[in-house]
Chain A
Amino acid sequence: MLIEEKFSIHAPIKKVWDFLLDAQSLASCVPGCEGVKVLDEDTYLTSIKTKVGPISAHFKIKLSITEKEPLKRILTTGRGEDSFMASSILAKNEITLNSLSESETEVYYRSDVSILGTLGKFGEGIIRKKAKELGEQFVLALKSKIEKG
């Protein structure tokens, strides 16, 4: 499933870039994220908890930065697993920055997510809708943290 969003942040492009590359800051914007561990410059380990009705999923995710174009683009791949529920998640993500002005930056993000296994079978359509909600929460958190910080 494809999750895409375009929005602008009231902050200069360098500030947005630095924030995005700071693992802890980025993690703080992801709903259900339980913290992040930096393995090396381009690899993070994180876990994300999410709930649909009575069903809770707990994904351990390894995020790798596959491409970095300073002040322009970040490509990442996330591979995660909820072994308890025999489900895995694969996300190919892209964030592109565009400077609209000295104090305004346009952010475009795009995430190609596949959920495999029991969770995918159970409610792929529901997960898609939930993912969209999570995406919206992510954007709100990102904007508020960068603009206020």
Chain B
Amino acid sequence: MKYFEYIEPKDLAEASQILNEYPEAKILAGGASLVVLIKNNLIQPSHLVNIKTIPGLDQLRWDSKEGLKIGPLNRHRDIFESPLIRQHCPILSEAASKISSPPIRNMGTIGGNICHGEPAADFPPALIALGAKLRLFSTKGERIVAVEEFFVDFYETILSKTEILSEIIIPPLPSRIGGTYIKLDKTNNSIAIVGVAALIGVDEKGNCNYVGVGLGGVAPTPLKVKNAGEILLGKKVEEDLIEKVAKEAQLIANPITNIYASDRYRKEMVYVLTKRALKEAFSKALMI
């Protein structure tokens, strides 16, 4: 690889400062995506800022009011194995298990997966369905954004030059909830052709009290099916309403054609898989 300077900051403020001083500097977490880009000469960073040296970015804790707080340096493997995550949002464990292979899961981090901005990444749809929020840190201040607002375009996020993702927040969910992440891929955990994450919560009367649907691989960014709530909340989860949400997903999809699948195929499959995911999520919710 081409030469770059290597820095181990002691805290986020220092890391953000370095980003401010050197516009061509890049954050290094797991390196699973970043190093590949550098090796192929697609990016030529001047500095790599290794945030793995900063303590506290890999914590994982539950706060009964605010929900689950996930540090960005948690590796896919940590997300998969975490009892807290299995307890509070197992859809995230499911998404983690579908990322690539064990060595990549041992290196890659959830923060990196989000910030890389890959439209077909596996965590974003699950995080969108969970209503997750992202805390963005910079020396100029902090802001919290909804996951679906974070993505701008292919490999482009709203992170400013000096901002670093510092925390992922998953708000508490209703108790009777079921979710699933369906990934359509060519082989064995390869990049998603279409990814659909769906969460449905039901109250004691059997009416839907929560719905979240996130889509991956069908647009320049991961997408939220925004009208799902309008269609399902407060109503009985029935076939025709699920159909409506699936059609909505198809409507907002704007996929590319590449060697794995055509745009038409993705457009078709996002409808099929959204239906399937909603049905599965609903049956899981009923089992609680």
Contact = CB atoms under 8 A, between A and B. Distances in A.
Nearest to B152: A53
A85 interface: yes
A126 interface: yes
Chain A interface size, under 10 / 10 to 19 / 20 to 34 / 35 or more: 10 to 19
A126 B256 contact: yes
B259 interface: yes
A130 B42 CA distance: 16
B101 interface: no
B277 to A, nearest CB: 23
Contact of A126 (B26, B37, B154): B154
B41 A129 contact: no
B33 to A, nearest CB: 11
Contact of B258 (A54, A85, A125, A130): A125
A122 B41 contact: no
A84 B41 contact: yes
9 contacts: A52-B155, A53-B117, A53-B155, A53-B156, A54-B37, A54-B42, A85-B42, A123-B154, A125-B258
Given A86-B41, A125-B257, 13 more contacts: A52-B154, A53-B153, A54-B155, A54-B156, A55-B155, A85-B42, A118-B42, A119-B42, A126-B220, A128-B257, A129-B154, A129-B256, A130-B154
Contacts of A122: 40, 42
Interface string A96-124: 00000000000000000000001100111
Contacts, number: 48
Q: Is the interface of B mostly helix, strand, loop or mixed?
A: loop
Interface residues of B, number: 17
A52 B43 CA distance: 11
Centre residue among A54, A86, A126, A128 by max chain B CB count within 10 A: A54
A124 B256 CA distance: 9
Contacts of A125: 256-259
A122 B36 CA distance: 10
Nearest to A52: B154
Contacts of B259: 124-125
A128 B40 CA distance: 20
A114 B120 CA distance: 24
The 4 A-B residue pairs with the shortest CB-CB distance in the complex, in nearest-first order: A53-B155, A125-B258, A125-B256, A53-B156
Interface in A121-139: 122-126, 128-130
Interface string B95-119: 0000000000000000000000100
Given A128-B257, A129-B220, A118 B41 contact: yes
B256 A53 contact: no
B256 A55 contact: no
